A and B are shown apart, each in its own frame.
Chain A
Amino acid sequence: MTEQVSVFIDNKPGRLNAVTAILLDQAIDIRAMTIANHRGYGVAKLLVSDPRLAHQALTEQGFAAALQPVLAVVIADRPGGLHDLLEGLAERQINVLNAYGFVITPGQSAVWCLEVADLAETARLVEARGWRVLKESELYRLSSPLAP
Chain B
Amino acid sequence: MAQVRIIKGKDMTVPVWNPAIEFIEREALERLQLAHLRKTIAWALKTPFYQRRLAEAGLTCPEDIASLRDVRNLPYTTKDDLREAYPDGLLAVDREQVVRLHTSSGTTGTPTVIYHTQHDLDRWTELVARCIAATGATRRDVFQNMTNYGLFTGGLGLHYGAERVGMLVIPASSGNTGRQIQLMRNFQTSVVHATPSYLLHLHSALAGEGVEPGQLGLRKAFIGAEPHSEETRRKIESLFGIDAYNSYGLSEMNGPGVAFECVYKTGLHLWEDAYILEIIHTETLQPVAEGETGEIVMTTLQRQATPLLRYRTRDLSHWVSGHCPCGRGHRRLARIKGRSDDMLIINGVNVFPSQIEDRLMKTPEVGVNYLIQLEKRGSLDRLVVKTEIDARLFTGDPDALDDLRERISELLRSAILVKPVVELHEPGSLPVSEGKAQRVVDLRPAF
Which residues of A are at the interface with B, using a C-beta cutoff of 8 A? Answer: 4, 6, 8-10, 15, 36, 38-41, 43, 45, 59, 62-68
Contacts and interface: CB of A to CB of B under 8 A. Distances in A.
B428 interface: yes
Contacts, number: 57
B391 A10 contact: no
B424 A59 contact: no
Given A43-B396, A45-B396, A64-B389, A10 B401 contact: no
B398 A43 contact: yes
B401 A41 contact: yes
A144 to B, nearest CB: 30
Contacts of B389: 8, 64
B426 A15 contact: yes
A59 B426 CA distance: 12
Contact of B394 (A4, A40, A64): A64
Given A38-B401, A43-B401, A9 B426 contact: yes
Category for how many chain B residues contact A: 10 to 19
5 contacts: A39-B423, A40-B423, A43-B396, A62-B391, A66-B394
Given A15-B426, A40-B423, A41-B424, A64 B391 contact: yes
B88 interface: no
Nearest to A58: B391
Nearest to A67: B396
Interface string B407-434: 0000000000000000111111100000
Given A41-B424, A59-B391, A64-B391, A10 B429 contact: yes
Contacts of B427: 62-64
Q: Which of B396, B425, B429 has the most CB of A within 10 A?
A: B396
Contacts of A41: 401, 423-426
B395 interface: yes
A65 B398 CA distance: 12
Nearest to B386: A40
Closest 9 CB pairs of A and B: A6-B396, A66-B396, A64-B394, A64-B391, A68-B396, A43-B398, A62-B428, A40-B423, A10-B426
Contacts of A66: 394-396
B402 interface: yes
B426 A8 contact: yes
